[in-house]
Structure 1
């Protein structure tokens, strides 16, 4: 009986060994490229990956004229001991103009020797027409002699058919004024670009901070300080007007 048990154990061990060897096979087939941001590991469990990014200059402090960004191209497959060019193209839906709204800084588009990723650097330029219009820059990854684009998308919402696209990535660029999410009219009054710019100048506050981190107590303090400033300027003969041509005022709680 013992001999039978030993024989069964030996057979199971051999079976497991062959099974493990089969599972450890290397990737076969033509390597595939995709935008890393759309399929990378999640930074936290509830993170939602996206195939687009919004670049807005509207809450940028001061007179920032450009924004340097990057996108990572990744590949499924094994690294090799030579550079492998990949193919990327501007989608016809793009409205951003090269040389005016953006600049491609990276010229050598290839997965470098012994690497599985490459980084493309872009510069977006802040232009006057962005105050009234949203511009789009859309990139497509295309198949070439080195890479396929077989991993194209996945359905993220079965009801609507919404997709996460792995081989198309879009940038939306504008300078359209955005009301900070934590702006409270009760303390700060009616929102306007003119008022926000004045607060940035007088208080030396970052608009991004007002959009994401400012507390209610700070908002009230800002309102009261700005109303006192407006009153002092008026008393000195410098009446500050808002965008509508009327005297600028903060919220009712700041009076």
Structure 2
């Protein structure tokens, strides 16, 4: 009986020590924040923002980069620090503003709100803006491969990362502009088969109508026929 009692006491002490050590490690590690990169998309660590697909009167917009915490929720808002990686960026300060970021109270998620501004230079030059999460006092940066994000800013059409060759064929600015005009879509992430087929068919119909009205083949900026699979 005494042996059994000593064994129970020993196990209890070991469990208490283990819990204390775990709590201490958790406290020392602190809560961390990282950029959430959706593995279901192909552009989860960067984005291209083009004013060319926006209304002419739009002079600024806000990109919201999703972030999450590693740790426990807290009943108060927690500040998230992030900054531009100067050595890797060529964006001008006239083209962006880093807005305040935080993890709301009782939440695991938040956003890094980056405001982008339209300027004349963007008509001919694409700027790059690398940002990185830093220590805010409330939250420390998470793992190294999930604390940086690349934003490209321009005001001319470029091939979106979500372009689907199997539905739309070879990319061209003329074809992309046609799809925007006919369907309003500027990105194709998360779309189902029926939506993608609708977009492609709308493009085909628009090309056929144009060619019937003009008695000629529609050509893109490279002099190649605009065709859909």
Question: Smaller-chain TM-score range?
Answer: 0.5 to 0.7
CA separation of 1:152 and 1:98: change in aligned 2, threshold 3 A: same
Q: How does 1:157-196 map to 2 (within 5 A)?
A: 164=145, 166=147, 168-174=148-154, 175-178=156-159, 181-183=163-165, 191-196=171-176
CA separation of 1:97 and 1:214: change in aligned 2, threshold 3 A: farther
Picking from 187, 206, 226, the partner of 1:208 is 187
Query: How many angstroms does 1:135 deviate by?
Result: 2.0
Distance 2:164 2:4 in 1: 72
The two structures have a TM-score, normalised by structure 1, of 0.56
Query: How many angstroms does 1:178 deviate by?
Result: 0.6
Q: How does 1:63-82 map to 2 (within 5 A)?
A: 66-71=60-65, 72=67
Structure 1 stretches of 5 or more lacking a match?
154-163
Pair 1:91-2:70 in alignment: no
Distance 1:37 1:219 in 2: 31
Picking from 49, 56, 65, the partner of 2:49 is 56
Query: How many angstroms does 1:251 deviate by?
Result: 3.0
Distance 2:185 2:115 in 1: 22
CA separation of 1:217 and 1:197: change in aligned 2, threshold 3 A: closer
CA separation of 1:117 and 1:9: change in aligned 2, threshold 3 A: same
Distance 2:177 2:80 in 1: 44
Query: How many angstroms does 1:149 deviate by?
Result: 5.7
Residue 97 of structure 2 contacts residue 115 of structure 2 at CA under 8 Å; is this kept in 1? Answer: yes
Distance 1:243 1:135 in 2: 25
CA separation of 1:165 and 1:9: change in aligned 2, threshold 3 A: same
Pair 1:251-2:227 in alignment: yes
CA separation of 1:35 and 1:137: change in aligned 2, threshold 3 A: farther
- Which deviations, in whole Å up to 9, do the C-alpha atoms of 1:10-65 show, x marking residues without a partner? 33443344235424534445857x54216xxx87xx669x9942133289466565
- Structure 2 counterpart of 1:18: 16
Aligned residue pairs total 222
Aligned-partner SS, 1:177: coil
Query: How many angstroms does 1:89 deviate by?
Result: 3.7
- Which deviations, in whole Å up to 9, do the C-alpha atoms of 1:47-98 show, x marking residues without a partner? 69x99421332894665654422344858699698x8877544322221122
Aligned-partner SS, 2:164: coil
Picking from 135, 138, 142, the partner of 2:130 is 138
Q: Aligned-pair RMSD on alpha carbons?
A: 5.0
**Structure that is richer in helix per residue:** 2
Structure 2 stretches of 5 or more lacking a match?
none
Residue 134 of structure 1 contacts residue 172 of structure 1 at CA under 8 Å; is this kept in 2? Answer: yes
Residue 33 of structure 2 contacts residue 139 of structure 2 at CA under 8 Å; is this kept in 1? Answer: no
